[in-house]
Amino acid sequence: MKKKNHPIIKDENVILFPGMIEKYVENGLKFAEETNFVEAVSCFDEASKYKELSDMVQSVYILSLLEAGRPLDAKKICETLYEKRSPFFEQVIELYLTILLDLKEYKQLNEVLDGLMKDSTYTFQQKKNFKQLKELSIKMLTDTTYSADEETKTNFDKEQFELSSFIKLPYGQQEHLIQEAFHTDITEITEELIAIIEGSDIIPTIKSLALLLLGAAGVDNEVTVEKFGFKETIIPTAPPEHTAVDRVEPIKRCIENLLEKDPSKLQMTLEMVHRHAYTLFPFDWVGYTNEVVANKYIEYVDVLFGNSVLRSDEFFDLLIVMEESLEVLSGE
């Protein structure tokens, strides 16, 4: 038999014997499976010094980095997978978006979401979810959108925002106009935006977006908001202390704890909570604790999966109305 000659890899003064890199990867995956993420990261760090890890391994690397408290390093790997359009990237896109949210990098988040919504490889439902997350992130932008050093635009058609004209536009165009106005000096159309929010024929999601726009612009005029049976006069810069949007994170944690072994149902439930929190803004799931809200949404999704029959109560009635209102926007 011929003697096999294996190449010996050298890195400065370190000699890596055959199979050593593979062993680092193998141990990293093993430690990650055992939820020993610090050790997993250590192994992946070593392996990545000498070779490019597979997309599958990098996805585990990302999760391990997050659990080990290294979100910036996790973000870099996500960016690499995104830029090279990795087929495996769909598996980590939710992690990437979560990282950008946690790091408060809202501008980059919106740029990534814009790219995802234009990508033909994603389904209509996925794009709908990206769109809802983009709208939700606008709430987070209210403290930064109108910074003093940011250039603003004033070249918009004021007549388009007049209620009589605005209401005739397709819902998608209404939404686009308001989103574009987030980078605009809206002083001239403040009254028109208030009329849109108070309009009886404006769908709830558009009202939410217009209200967030006024808040971002520092408008302190009183606005009467009415939707889903709730009605309240508020000041855009000082919305109610507790809104559905503010409660998304604790409710999300409850749902994750309850559905950790059912990823399909988990994803669908979280997406629905995000959508409804935004369209319900500035109101709340009044009278229901985070735990109860989490369980109600899980129960409703269970019905959608055909595992149970929906029982009638006030919460489910509100949930169904919100879903119907969102279908109007997405069904154009």
CA distance 174 to 187: 19
CA distance 23 to 25: 5
Contact 233, 223 (CB under 8 A): yes
CA distance 25 to 57: 8
- In which residue ranges of the chain is pLDDT below 70? 1-18, 87-88, 119-156, 329-332
- Residue 118 CB burial class (10 angstroms; 0-12, 13-18, ≥19): exposed
Among residues 50, 51, 48, 35, the alpha carbon closest in space to that of 76 is found at 48
Q: What single-letter DSSP state applies at residue 253? A: H
CA distance 65 to 78: 11
- The pLDDT, as a whole number, for residue 295 is 96
State the pairing for strand pair 14-16/223-227: unpaired
Q: Half-sphere exposure of 202 toward its Cβ, with a 13 Å CA cutoff?
A: 31
- The pLDDT, as a whole number, for residue 120 is 60
Tokens linked to 140: 């987070």
- Measured from the Cβ of residue 14, the count of other Cβ atoms closer than 10 Å reads 11
- The pLDDT, as a whole number, for residue 124 is 59
- Residue 3 CB burial class (10 angstroms; 0-12, 13-18, ≥19): exposed
